[in-house]
Structures are given as structure tokens and as C-alpha cells.
Amino acid sequence: MRKFLIKTLILLLTAGALFFWLRADASVLAGASVLGMDDSSGWLAANSQDPAPFNLLESARTGFVRVELPFNEVSPAPGAYVWAYQGDSGYKDYNQLFEKLERRGIQPVVVLSRGPAFANHLYPQQPVYRDELLEAWANYLRAAVQQFRSHVDHWQIGSLINDPAGWGKVVFPGAESPIAAPDPALYADMIKIAYSVIKSGQSTDTVLLGGLALTGDCAFHPNAYLQALADADAWYAFDAITLELPMLNDLPETLQMDACGYAPIQSSGVPLADAVRSVADFTEQQTPKPLWVHNLAFSADLLASKAALRGSLPEVIESDYLTRATAILMAEGGADHVFWRYDPLSSKPGSLSLQSFANLSQSLSGSFDHNNSMIADSALQAKRFRGNGRMTVVAWLPSAGDQFTATAVPGFEGYSPFAWSADAGSLNNRDGIGLLVDNGGSVALMLSERPVIISGKPADLKGALTLYLKDSVSQASEGLKGKMTAFLQAQKAKAADKLGAWVEEQQQSLMETLKDSFNQWLRKSLGLAKL
């Protein structure tokens, strides 16, 4: 009995210690948000005095907001930095912006973009002065990180770096609509500097690659650009890859994406997903990196035309397509995070879309396991996610219009599921409907083009606890793995900096030695040694 009590006490103490150890880092165990908004127009920064948009983003369960911090605007002269100023779109106050986001639990993703307004190279008359640009870039980074490190944990280095128009804003920021051929070698130097500066301040901060355009010149396809960065030994200098979607002009399941011959290892049959998956597969050949997809939006013309065909409203179509595209990108494309374009001036996303966003954010947060192997019906789109002890499925019929059809969705054996419309007022049981699971593990419900969210925990308490603990351990493992990878990469960067400084020191010493030897030889040869 005494041995049993001692063993029990040890077990309890160990479990308690483990609990508090894991609990001390809430980011590891907490259900991490997977959805965000892109404030590409800078609207939030120019309206930071108004609390309404921040309250709206909070109510929509927005996990991240991506905002741009343009170099050419915040630094009017060398060494001068202004974090609150009058811009073309209004008065921008970045300190206030980040503080308001922080109070609402929204993480800012800061895009360190464009180039120095005071650069001597003016498009197209002069070449780019690399050393001058890199020195100004390093100073800008140090100033921004020093100013906002207490509010910002995610830094994106540049925007549309593989696009001639995007890269032109970096090297020729003073020109109107500049165009410049992307330069992976120069960008590699820039992101190495950024990685060193950011990680030296906080090693756990996330450094994001600078927004690769998914379409355009095949010579600068994301995979080709990533290969160039790997060849320049810059693969260590970023923690995640970001992809920029173009404005989408077709159904999420059928729109064509120019993959430039880059195909995923295993095609899903959905062009949008396969275009993104090809990048995810490429990273597997290097050191795998998380994939963030940005700028998800559908054109107003498409929404209007599809609304007319369905006898519906553009706002309804927008909500449906954004939900379906998000599920496709995460389940089939390998995206870890998906960001929707945020454009309040055009009321995008609309109110229905924001409700769908909130429900997706709630139901998919913490998801890590995407398994769609059980879906055999090609007419049914059912994207499956698991995490935090739950099974969640986003399901719809892609070409059914608003005509409901009785459909069986498999894979719920042992679960107690509920179903909601994707844009339901909430995911409370009162706003949904309970589903019965048949002997084959399927649930039956009426489906149309309008997506539904099906979610459920294991029906018995033991199964629920087991699955929750399993998911928590897996999630903790992934979180700790990510933190360890970031730490090791930071140490590698520091070691590289030290090695570089040592090499420079040795080079200088060698040059001095050679200089002295040459001078001695010259004096001796000219008969000057005795003089």
C-alpha cells in the first residue's frame, strides 16, 4: 500500500508539473487561429482613431490582421523615422493601431515594404546601389523592430517580391508605377539582414517571406524564386512562406491557375488547391515551412453574374465562395493560414461573409489534421479537419445552385455531430441541428451550393477525453517543434554573423600582411631599403 501511495504521489506531482509546464506557454496548447484579414489598402492605419472597425474584427474572431509599414513613408530622410503622419489616405498612427489590435487579441502581421524614399537611384536613369540600399534597409529594420517589438510577433519581409511591379517599389520607390526585374540575390541579402535583426530582438518572432505572387511570369514562379533563395543560402532566413492570390474570377472548385508546369505530387483535381499545393510540395524538398495564403477575394463582376444566375444576392455568393475556397486551400492546398482581403471602402467582406469568417475561425482554430480520404462521392465536397478533440467538416454541392439535395456525408462513426449553415448567427446548438449517425458512420442532411459546417465530439466521455488529450499532445508537439526550429535557425543566423565577422577580420589581417610584404619587396627591389 505504501509503495502504491508513493507511486500515485509521484504520478500526481509529475502530471501537475507537466500541466503547469505546458500551461505556462499558452500558445502551445491553445487553439491557434488559422484565419486573418489583409488590410492591403492601409484603411485601418488611416482610421485607427475609430474603434468601430476594430470591434467588428474582434466580433468576427479575427486572429491576424496584416498591415503594411511602408519604408518610403515612415522614413522621409536617412535616420529619421515617423510612426504617426498624414498620408494620402488619412492620418496614420501605427502605435495606436497596434495597441488597439493588441487590446482585442488580434495579432498584427507587419509588412516591412517598399524602399527608402531618399535613395539615390532613380528609375530608370540610374542603377541600384546595393550597399546603400542594404545599409538603409538594415537601419529601417532596427528602428521598426525597436519601436514595435512589444506589440508585433509576425514580420513579413517585403510584398510581391517576385512580381516586377512589386519589386519596382523596393528599388525605385520614388518613381510612379515603377517596374523592375525581380532580384532574388538582392532579396536574399535583405531577408538575411531582417532575420538577424528580428531574431536578435526576440528569437520566437515569426519571419515571413515577402508575399510571392502566384501568377505572372513563369521565370519568377514561386517555386523558381524559392529555388533561387535556397541557392543563395537564404532558406534558413524565414520561418514561413506567404503566397499572394490574384483576384479570383471563377468558382472556387473550377477556376484555372497558371501553374507554369509546376504540379503537386498528388493532384486533388481542384486547380486552386493544386497551384498552392505545388509550392507546399516544393518546400518538402528543402526544410518544410508553413504556408500562409493571402488576399483571398472574388471579383465583384463574378459575384454579380453568379447572383443573377442563382436568383440570389452578391453578398450571399461572396459568403459561399469565400467559405468554400478557404476549406479547399486548407484541406487540399496545404495552407496553414488563410487571409481574406479586407476592404471597408467597398464593404468587402460583407456582413454574411464576416459571419462565415467568424464561424470558420471558431470551428477550424487549432485544426492540424486534414484527412479527406473517406470522401468517395465526386459530386460532394466535404473538407475534413480535426483538432481540439473535434471532427469538423465543411460540406457543399458545388453545382447544385440553391436546390437542396439529400446527401450522405461519411466519417462520423463514434461522433455526436451538429450541423450549421456556414453563415449561421452562431455555432451554438440552438442555431444548428443535431444529426443522427447511421450504422455506416454517415450522417444525412440536405445540401446545396451553400456550405454547411458539421462538427462533433466523440459520443462517449472516454473517447472525447482520449481524443482531446491526443490532439493536445500532438498540438503541443507541433508547437514545441516550431519553437525549437525557430530557436535553432536563430542560433544558425547568429553563428553565421559571427563567422562572417571573423572572416572579414581575417581578410583584413591578410590584406595588411600582404600589403606590408609587398611594400618591403617594392622597397627592396627599388633599392630603397637602405634609405
Cβ contacts of 108 within 8 Å, gap of 6 or more: 64, 65, 66, 67, 97, 98, 101, 102, 151, 152, 154
Per-residue confidence (pLDDT) for residue 297, from 0 to 100: 97
Distance between CA atoms of 47 and 91, rounded to whole angstroms? 7
What backbone torsions phi and psi does residue 219 show, to the nearest 5 degrees? -65, -20
Q: What is the pLDDT of residue 505?
A: 59
Q: Please report the pLDDT score of residue 308 as a whole number.
A: 96
- Taking the CB of residue 160, how many other CB atoms lie within 10 A of it? 21
Q: In the prediction, which pLDDT does 282 show? A: 93
Least confident of 165-179, 227-241, 282-296: 165-179
| pLDDT tens profile 36-65 | 999 988 899 999 889 999 999 999 999 999
478 within 8 A of 368, measured Cβ to Cβ: yes
pLDDT at residue 27, rounded to an integer: 31
Q: What is the pLDDT of residues 63-86, one digit of tens each?
A: 999 999 999 999 999 999 999 999
Q: Which is nearest to 249 in space by CA: 305, 315, 323?
A: 305
pLDDT greater than 80 at residue 228 = yes
Q: pLDDT grade, residue 10 (50/70/90)?
A: low
Can you give the pLDDT at residue 367? Answer: 65
Does residue 461 carry a pLDDT above 50?
no
pLDDT given for residue 508 in this prediction: 60
H-run or E-run covering 207: strand 206-208
| CATH T-level fold of 33-365 | TIM Barrel (3.20.20)
CATH class of 381-463: mainly beta
Cell 500562409 maps to which residue?
292
> What is the edge-to-edge ordering of all strands in the sheet holding 381-387?
369-370, 381-387, 390-396, 452-458, 415-421, 433-434
pLDDT of residue 56: 93
Q: Counting beta carbons within 10 angstroms of the beta carbon of residue 528, is it exposed (0 to 12), middle (13 to 18) or buried (19 or more)?
A: exposed
The pTM (predicted TM-score) of the whole model is: 0.81
Same fold, 33-365 and 381-463: no
Lowest-confidence range among 293-302, 369-378, 382-391?
Answer: 369-378
Distance CA 437, CA 412 (A): 7
Domain ranges of the chain: 33-365, 381-463, 502-531
pLDDT tens digits for range 340-377: 999 988 889 999 999 999 999 999 987 666 655 545 45
pLDDT of amino acid 83: 96
Partners of 156 in the β-ladder? 111, 208
CA distances from 507 to 32, 233, 498 (A): 48, 21, 14
Secondary structure of the chain: what % helix, strand, coil (to 5)? 45, 20, 35
